[in-house]
Amino acid sequence: MLEAGFVLNYAHCNDFFLASGREQSSLLLLGDMVASFGTLAASAIALGKYDDGGKDALQIVTLGTSTALSGIDIYTQRFLFGAENVDAVRELTLNAASTHSGKVRELDPQNYNAVVTHLFDNQAICTPRRISILAREAIQKAELKPSVSSQGTLSDVRKSMDEDVLKDLGQTLNPPGAVSAEQAGALFWLLERDSTADERSKVILPLLSTLPAASNPFDTAGALKDPIPNRDLIDTALGKLSAGARSAFDTQIKNARAAGVVAGAAAGPLPTLFALPDQPAASGGRVSVSVK
C-alpha cells in the first residue's frame, strides 16, 4: 500500500505540472493574441469614418483590450512559476517528494494509520502552497559553489593555434601528417629570418631532409629551390604562429648560433633545436558558479 501510494502521488504531481505548464503557455499566447487583435481593431476603427460612434467604439476596444491583458497579467504574476520555469520547479518538487518517501521507507511503518499519514504528507508536498514555500527556501538556502577550469584560457588558445600551424604545414609539405616543431622552426629560420649559406646547408637542410622531394624547399643536390614550392601556403601558415611561438623560435635560433651548432654539425647528429613553447599553467582559469 505504501509503495503504491508513493507511485500514485508521484504520477499525480507530475500530471499537475504538465497541465500547469500547458495552461501557462496558453495564457501567454492568449495575451499576445489579445494585444494583436486589439491593435488591429483600433487601427481599423481609426481608419474608418471617425464620428462620435467611432470614438465610442475605439474607447470600447481600448478598454476591453487593456482589461483582458490586465486580467492575464494578474493571474500570471500570482502563478507559482512561469512557463519557462516549469521543469525546474517540477524537478525540485519531485525530488522533495522522493526524499520524503525515502525517509519514510527507512522508518518502515507497520500499521494502517501510520501509512496513511505518511502518504498524506507526501501528497501535500505537491500542493501550490507547499511548492511555493519549497521554491523560496531552495533559493534562500542554496549554496553557490565556484569551480575553476583552465579550458578556454588564453594559453589554451595559443597552443591550439600553433598546433594548427603544424597541421597546415603538414598538409602542404607532408600530407596527411603534421610537420614537427623542429621542421616548423627550420622553415621559420629559412623563410622569415636571415640565414647564412652554412646555416642552410648544415642545419636547416638536415632538419627538412625527411620532407618529400616534391615539396621540400631544397633539391636533391642540397640547393635551395627557386621558386620554393608552395611558398605562399607556407608563408600563410607561418604567419599564423602565435607571438609566443615566434619569440621562442627567435630565441632558439639565437641559442643555436651561440652554441656553435653549424661548426659542430660535421661532428655528429644535430641536437634538438626547436620546440613550441610550454604555455604557462593558468593561474586562475575560468570560474563558473553553480548551485550545490
Question: Which residue would you say has higher pLDDT here, 224 or 138?
Answer: 224
Residues of the chain above pLDDT 70, percent: 70
Give the position of cell 622531394: 213
pLDDT at 282 over 50: no
Among 4-8, 18-22, 35-39, 245-249, top mean pLDDT goes to 245-249
Question: What DSSP line would sit under 214-277, residue for residue?
Answer: TT-SB-TTSPBPSSPTTHHHHHHHHTTS-HHHHHHHHHHHHHHHHTTHHHHGGGSPPPP---PP
pLDDT at 278 over 80: no
Whole-number pLDDT of residue 201: 92
Question: Which residue would you say has higher pLDDT here, 174 or 143?
Answer: 174
pLDDT at 15 over 50: yes
pLDDT at 195 over 50: yes
Whole-number pLDDT of residue 21: 67
Among 64-78, 153-167, 182-196, top mean pLDDT goes to 182-196
- Per the confidence metrics, is the pTM higher than 0.85? no
Whole-number pLDDT of residue 277: 84
Confidence of residue 58 (pLDDT cuts 50, 70, 90): low
Stretch among 129-143, 148-162, 204-218 having the lowest mean pLDDT: 148-162
Q: What is the mean pLDDT of the chain?
A: 79
- Rg over alpha carbons for the chain, rounded to the nearest Å, is 37
Give the position of cell 640547393: 223
Overall average pLDDT of the 256-271 stretch: 79
Let me know: does 259 contact 190? Beta carbons within 8 Å.
Answer: no
Question: What DSSP line would sit under 156-171, residue for residue?
Answer: HHHHHHHHHHHHHHHH
- DSSP, collapsed to helix, strand or coil, labels residue 145 as strand
State how far the Cα of 38 lies from the Cα of 17, in Å rounded to an integer.
31
Question: Which residue would you say has higher pLDDT here, 183 or 125?
Answer: 183
Let me know: does 123 contact 10? Beta carbons within 8 Å.
Answer: no
How many Cα atoms sit within 13 Å of 29 on the Cβ side? 6
Question: What are 218's strand-pairing partners?
Answer: 224
How many CB atoms neighbour CB 276 within 10 A? 21
Question: What DSSP line would sit under 51-109, residue for residue?
Answer: SHHHHHHHHHHHHHHHHHHHHHHHHHHHSSS-GGGHHHHHHHHHHHHHHHHHHHHHH--
Whole-number pLDDT of residue 129: 79
pLDDT at 45 over 90: no
Encode pLDDT of 73-129 as tens digits.
Answer: 655 555 555 555 677 788 888 888 888 888 888 888 778 888 888 888 888 888 877
Encode pLDDT of 150-172 as tens digits.
Answer: 555 556 667 788 999 999 999 99
Whole-number pLDDT of residue 203: 93
pLDDT at 139 over 60: yes
